[in-house]
Structure 1
């Protein structure tokens, strides 16, 4: 069978990757190599393992309590929060494994990996749900379904995502990989064994443990002992690191009886999780966007809590100053009214996980009022985070921080080293528009070629800006094909097309902050984005953003360009709003109940408009190209967004 795809580019990043760090407000940039923050692959530090072993409890344990420790379970049942869930479970059917879905990407019957991945993860969710139902009611009603589901999953040919099963080695039993989905299976199975206790037969429990060793624990033991090139998530600096470690270490601490072996896996989590943190910029910015922030950093929380509980708080992965900055990424990247930019492989409409933010808010005393109390008290889609949050944990034992100014109420957030600026209206102002402008460079994890891209929000609607992610096709992480997708390349973003040329990938394509001027009434920033374009003869390309808080507010983008000889120049508006041209120099954008007037001009030049609808399997959006009518040597295009009453 043919290979589903080449290895993800982001999965093979080098440990000592050079990072361009833009210093906002300065005319220079510097190269920073995070040597001290990374954890290169090395043999197990037995001395540290012995120290950890002394901290561990004698018996393994997981999140929550087994079904027979009824105090919290009875309280949850009596609360009424789970009544609707239990009613729905009466007619629940455990999701079946679909061979057709698993192979749909490779046999050409699907254009993305969604069908196979969804099928795989729904089965893990199914095991979690029936475990929840039995532990809540404790009537034996779901025990058989738990056992049948558990047996079905441990006998499943593959635990990995079809997109990760290169040459189908997992499916055919040639080798086993610890990756995003298999680590989810491991921790879900371990939690099921822990929560169900003696309701799982000894024979099935042994079969489950054998499967965990074969597919998860032994491959990592072999990697450590032979230093092979498999399971590179240990040294990855993206979401793979924390997601896989959380599942691996969480499962080990939940079910492995041998205390020394548990200490080994605890050491692996403690040591190698530094690499995932190194993937965040030093200002706390998550280059992978809000969706992957929830996923990657959310699993760092699971890993932290697993180790914290297992060691009685003696090892705390939050004891790192960078974690405090990363924790503030979500509130700082909010534009206005709970709307976030869809930067990188992030979907439009994504928000930070409430459970994750409540955990961070309490654990780190962030003092963000909206995250003081959990409102979604009946989540049962997994038996890891949902169980952890339903039972007492390290965050619930923490005192909330003193209520301080809500993060979103700040008039601006600046990720200085990354070059990302979020501008907001003054509290109580009649203005109801905000904007996020992205600098950075084009070699970020889950990168889109998007230097200079922006997102404009009015009310609670994204009126124009970054279109976000599209469904993952088989080759979307292959560098040869990734930027042929218009939504991943710069064409689908609200950035210039320079002499017919899109932005280039790579760290050399970077923004440089030329100047800033921030006041209470207005914010002004100018980025040099010329290096993003490999265009001979391009002498200058600067993008200036002016955010005006006075009155109803306005946002203006001005692109200044200069060539050695006359060339074409075009900029673009990307939008999911309904739109119409209302004059030679204006457009009207309408989305839900919001209306926004867009004015465009180019002193001394006539402008042409052309539009194109782009889907590529995702939610369609329109690219409105605004170009000079003939090649010119220099000029500027000005686009201003204003609320339309």
Structure 2
């Protein structure tokens, strides 16, 4: 089937395939929180913990203590000036169907249009709450009416057979969860400023489009693709639960109903935690950590506030390890590897890190006083962060083992090592060396991949994500993209074969030696090449902190018959070959000498520029000229 035909079928088919693949992996994992009838005893216990009235984040705009303080801070002056010319974003049918009718190659147009409307409602709510003059009420009510009349609240890529658009069946996914919580926060924050009949219509729409579909899923325990977020172990779980539970806590008058959704959040959010390694590692990378775990924070804070701290989703031991993921993953100088579908240059969300730093006492001083003022993109997280919340206690100043100043951080269960220079030394090179497996969330076939940083520049390594297209999540086409398959990563090409997808393709740690002067890690990655004739493939990384530092990556391989072996340097730096066995990389102010050798064998170089819609990068292949039975191919990186 041609890729253009995939577009015309609509991305609902794509996402159905993803859910089917995900479901099979969930069954294999044995989820702790499978679909089951509501636990009435636990719900009765939660009822006793809730207030009589619903509430959301922040305070209604009529409670002026914090709102006036925010207004007087001056941080919102430019926002309010721009809002004087605000026009509510319109719903575009053409954008919504742009993927399915073939006028676009991805769902980006439709998704952006949908989310712009939620953002518009949030910004109007923010403006009215700050000024409290009634100036934006008419626009808010008109915008809300327009959204209530909108045929679908879900992303077009997730509207399976356009059931939502045609009012056949409603489902909860990332965008509809966003709509639900945004609408609910608008109702809560503005209160009696809104027309009572409009508020009633909005709550009825939330019941029909969001609350009832979730309850029906649990009641029927059906196996349809809709509303499967309850069972998923990636960011979907926490994002959707946060929106649904947050909306319920903000608008449902009946305390028992609010207790039901609090229980749903408490119980099913354990599935999202299963997607993280037991060592806290997030295989989706920094970008999706911001998104997915950021929504777990919203869910936690919502339930924490609603129960006055009696239910705390941070009390789970694994969450403490997940909170250390970002400081653990930082290579040096605020640079992170673009693992999985993270974008190059990705950074952790500062407000999330401030919240985690204060709640867990991570000892990260740069986040102690980071400002959370001035953000108005949504009326959920942005409101929660500036109003009193659980992170407002004085931060604990402790020396955390996950702090970036540490010489290394090893996600031992996953097999991911971050090696850093000795503080105060002239060494300014750091490395991320990745084990893992090839069935991770947002997986790239990258077992044995690495990222080399010098100063503040990524000199070589994982290229990160590319823009999503209609077929990028399909089982058939995903790994035909070079940037997602192993070809676009600094990993071997073995007998002309790339790594295979699947959990059986995994790194096994077979040796490690960590000292103050160097770090050594050896991984067996042969299982990623099941049909290559390999007898052995051990990849080792040696990181030396002495002097300016050096990184050596060595592949020790053996075949059952003579084959060609190839390694690769992946870089967005300018590069120039300086000899038969060396090249120089130049990026910003940094220069790095790369040398390569395979003793007893001649290596040759081939290069290719790869973009696939993202930033261009070079794949520089280093391959044995003649087939060989065994050898050791080493690539070294040394700052100049």
TM-score over 0.5 (shorter chain): yes
CA distance in 1 between counterparts of 2:385 and 2:57 reads 9
Residue in structure 2 matched with residue 299 of structure 1 by the alignment: 295
Contact 1:2 1:167 in 2 (8 A): no
Dislocated runs of 4+, deviation >6 Å = none
2:387 counterpart of 1:400: no
Q: Distance in 2 between matches of 1:504 and 1:388?
A: 43
Equivalent position to 1:542, from 523, 538, 543: 538
Q: Deviations over 1:415-473 (max 9, x none)?
A: 00000000000000101110001101111111111000001111111111101111111
| 2:494 corresponds to 1:498 | yes
Question: Partners of 2:616 and 2:98 in 1: how far apart?
Answer: 24
Pair 1:409 & 2:405 matched: yes
Specify the alignment match of 2:73 in structure 1: 79
Q: CA deviation at 1:365?
A: 2.0
Using the TM superposition, give the Cα deviation of residue 625 of structure 1 relative to its aligned residue in structure 2, in angstroms.
0.9
Instruction: Name the residue aligned to 2:357.
Output: 361
Q: Which residue of 2 aligns with 1:25?
A: none
2:262 is aligned with 1:258: no
Correspondence for 2:14: 6
CA drift at 1:18 = 8.4
Any idea what SS the aligned residue of 2:14 has?
Answer: coil
8 Å CA contact 1:10–1:445 kept in 2: the answer is no
C-alpha displacement of 1:581:
1.2
Shift of 1:133: 0.6
Q: Does 1:320 align with 2:316?
A: yes
Answer whether contact 2:18 2:475 (CA < 8 A) is retained: no
Q: Answer yes or no: is 1:181 the counterpart of 2:170.
A: no
Distance 1:174 1:258 in 2: 28
Q: Evaluate the alpha carbon distance shift between residue 277 and residue 10 of structure 1 in structure 2; reply closer, same or farther with a 3 A threshold.
A: farther
User: How many angstroms apart in 2 are the aligned matches of 1:372 and 1:192?
Assistant: 30
Q: Does the 8 Å contact 2:364/2:403 carry over to 1?
A: yes
Which residue is 1:233 aligned to?
Answer: 229
Query: What is the CA-CA distance between 1:162 and the residue it aligns to?
Result: 1.3
After superposition, the Cα gap between the structure-2 partners of 1:373 and 1:15, relative to the gap in structure 1 and judged at 3 Å, is farther
Deviates more, 1:341-350 or 1:98-107: 98-107
Larger relative helix fraction: 2
Pair 1:578 & 2:574 matched: yes
Q: What's the offset of the Cα at 1:375? A: 2.0
State which of 504, 509, 512 in structure 1 corresponds to 2:505: 509
Distance of 1:65 and 1:536 partners within structure 2: 62
SS in 2 for 1:324: helix
Check 1:8–1:549 CA distance in 2 against 1; reply closer, same or farther (3 A cut): farther
Aligned to 2:4: none
TM-score (norm 1): 0.95
User: Alpha carbon RMSD of aligned pairs, Å?
Assistant: 1.5
Bigger mean CA offset, 107-116 vs 612-621: 107-116
* Alignment gaps of 5+ in structure 1: 20-32
1:125 touches 1:381 (CA, 8 Å); kept in 2?
A: yes
CA distance in 2, matches of 1:528, 1:312: 49
CA displacement 1:582-603 (0-9 Å, x = unmatched):
2221111111221111111121
Residue 389 (1) aligns with residue 385 (2): yes
Local SS of the residue matching 1:444: coil
CA–CA distance in 1 between the matches of 2:365 and 2:10? 49
Answering whether residue 516 of structure 2 is matched by residue 520 of structure 1, we say: yes
Shift of 1:277: 0.9
8 A Cα contact 1:15 1:235, kept in partner: no
Distance 1:157 1:614 in 2: 40
Pick one of 280, 283, 288 that aligns with 2:276: 280
Deviations 1:229-271 (A, max 9, x none): 3311111111111000000000000001111111101110011
